[in-house]
Amino acid sequence: MNDETNDETNDETNDETTSGDTGDEQDVPAPPEADGALLAALGESIADPVPPGLIERARGLLAWADVDGDLAALLDDADRELVGTRGGAAPTSLEFVTDGGVVVELAIADGADGGTLDGQVLGDEVLRIVLEHATADPEELVVDDLGAFAFQSAVTGTARLRIETRDHGVIRTDWFVL
């Protein structure tokens, strides 16, 4: 019985170490039986059909991908005007502070041709700012070296800023009315 075991061991050793005699290739041992069983089980799990209803559930989840934008569009009050008020509208000041210490300061004023948005981003280098409207195409804003920007938009209504920064990645403000 010892001779049979030695013969099997020698055969396994010869199978594992002979992969070609080019000298440039590394010898790759055969996978152990446990790995073979695991690979077989993995192959069987991939071959299973998609469970019923999974595709519909995935589509339903994708519908929630931009729920903030959908809610902002519902709350958009650009077509409503204040009735019975005196004087012009005063600029609205907003400040957004992130967990990482980036501060976004905004001043919003109504104008004859739309809204004016002035602001500054403090606490990180700004690479790009995009004004995202709830009901219109996004508009890119010009930013100076200090993170300040001024923008006149013909589009009024609910909007938010998407700010790309060097150290903090992409920051999105809450929705506001322009």
Domains and CATH numbers, the chain: 89-177 (2.60.40)
Residue 4 token pair: 């049979």
H-state helical runs in the chain: 2-17, 33-47, 54-63, 67-75
Rounded Cα distance, 136 and 28, in Å: 59
Provide the whole-model pTM.
0.51
Rounded Cα distance, 116 and 136, in Å: 16
Q: Could you read off the pLDDT of 103-126 as tens digits, one per residue?
A: 999 988 876 666 788 999 999 999
Task: Check: CB of residue 88 under 8 Å from CB of residue 117.
Answer: no
Highest mean pLDDT among 111-115, 151-155, 166-170: 166-170
Highest mean pLDDT among 19-23, 58-62, 84-88, 129-133: 129-133
Res. 15: pLDDT tops 70: no
